[in-house]
Amino acid sequence: MEYKPIRKVVSGNYAAAYAALHSRVQVVAAYPITPQTSIIEKIAEFIANGETDIQYVPVESEHSAMAACIGASATGARAFTATSAQGLALMHEMLHWASGARLPIVMVDVNRAMAPPWSVWDDQTDSLAQRDTGWMQFYAENNQEVYDGVIMAFKVAETVNLPAMVIESAFILSHTYDVVEMIPQELVDEFLPPRKPLYDLADFEREPFSVGSLATPADYYEFRYKIQKAMEEAKKVIKEVGREFGERFGRDYSQMIETYRTDDADFVFMGMGSLMGTVKQAVDILRQEGYKVGAAKVRWFRPFPKEELYELAKNVDGIAVLDRNYSFGMEGILFTEAKGALYNTDAKPLMKNYIVGLGGRDFTVNDVRKIAENMNAVIEKGELDVEVDWYHLKR
């Protein structure tokens, strides 16, 4: 069947809901929280209109939502949920249960700043606080990537048997409408066939088994090692799935770090999510003004793309890491990860951390220009002025 995209003008949240529908999700359990709620409302609308036979499980909290998804996935169903900020924090315990049981649940997290003070605007700290739970993490730049990301996440997750988050920005994507190219159902079915569970559920009545029961110190260690090996395998699978997606549908995701105008760059801006759209626009303007700059968008934060980062870092003089998050007592989280990944390599670009946009504060092309001016001066001098710059802080 020839690929002829179906174009719809939708919000990022609706893009996520359509992706779940087209992925033939079987069970959805979720609890409403701004700015995630319209994802689940749209799925409920699909069910009410008879467009799908998804089983929706109403629950009393996000903790219960993940517990329900874990139960559904353990029986072999394709399970999906969505949440944000405090809701994701409430799920924290169950995230470990999902990855420990090797269940390929897919969840959309709408990045929202953590309270207090209360905020409903964009900030990556909620998802990055879950980086050690064994979940893969894909950060979407735009609504198209939200849609594509959910479908690919199911294929990757079900190949390596680990859960995955697809992460979008609060309001910047979740409630902003744009044209999204959707894939005809028959072609999604070819790309993403029905799930094949890790174990044969047909044998359950003959040979009962339990999931997540006690492991003694003699055995626990190896369970964690196998999760790590699955994360390492996921890097290869992500590239293969991203390449196949590109060959079928014209949007290539074979690189875990998407580079933009980096071939001859003196330094690059590196970051994740929607702010990188602004950065790429700024790069085009800065190039016209004589700056040899590029952009590197980290698509997959877990597993972390160490190898691709090295290939980028060895050819540039500097990396300006833009973090819309913070690890209190240290620095921006992507900055820490990037420095650590390069420490035992021969790639030693000057790296500076710029904290930007916390709580949804605007981050503009002019902001990128000012950061470029500062980074250029740092490189010319050959040393950092400060390692972590809380950019645009009200003094």
pLDDT, averaged across the chain: 96
CATH topology match: 6-249 vs 257-389: yes
pTM: 0.97
In the predicted model, what is the mean pLDDT of residues 92-107?
Answer: 98
What is d(CA 154, CA 149) in angstroms, rounded to the nearest whole number?
9
In the chain, where the domains are located: 6-249, 257-389
Long-range CB pairs of 47-56 (<8 Å, 24+ gap) are 51/21, 52/21, 54/21, 54/25, 54/26, 54/27, 54/28, 55/26, 55/27, 55/28, 56/27, 56/28, 56/29
Q: Give residue for tokens 């359990």.
A: 29
CA-based max dimension of the chain: 71
Cβ-count burial of 315 within 10 angstroms (0-12 exposed, 13-18 middle, 19+ buried)?
middle
DSSP state of 278: H
Residue 45: beta bridge partners? none
| 57, 29 Cβ separation under 8 angstroms | yes
Right CATH for 257-389 from 3.40.50.920, 3.90.1150.10, 3.40.50.720, 2.60.120.260: 3.40.50.920
Q: Give residue for tokens 């420095």.
A: 339
Q: Which two tokens stand for residue 258?
A: 């998407």
List all residues 6 or more positions away from 286 whose beta carbon is below 8 Å from its beta carbon: 293, 368, 369, 372
pLDDT of residue 374: 97
pLDDT digits (tens, 9 = 90+) for 13-57: 999 999 999 999 999 999 999 999 999 999 999 999 999 999 999
Q: What's the CATH code, domain 6-249?
A: 3.40.50.970
pLDDT digits (tens, 9 = 90+) for 299-353: 999 999 999 999 999 999 999 999 999 999 999 999 999 999 999 999 999 999 9
Long-range CB pairs of 376-381 (<8 Å, 24+ gap) are 376/266, 376/267, 376/291, 378/318, 378/350, 378/352, 379/266, 379/267, 379/317, 379/318, 379/350
What is d(CA 351, CA 322) in angstroms, rounded to the nearest whole number?
11
pLDDT of residue 209: 74
What is d(CA 47, CA 55) in angstroms, rounded to the nearest whole number?
8
pLDDT digits (tens, 9 = 90+) for 187-224: 999 999 999 988 776 566 777 777 788 999 999 999 99
pLDDT digits (tens, 9 = 90+) for 266-287: 999 999 999 999 999 999 999 9
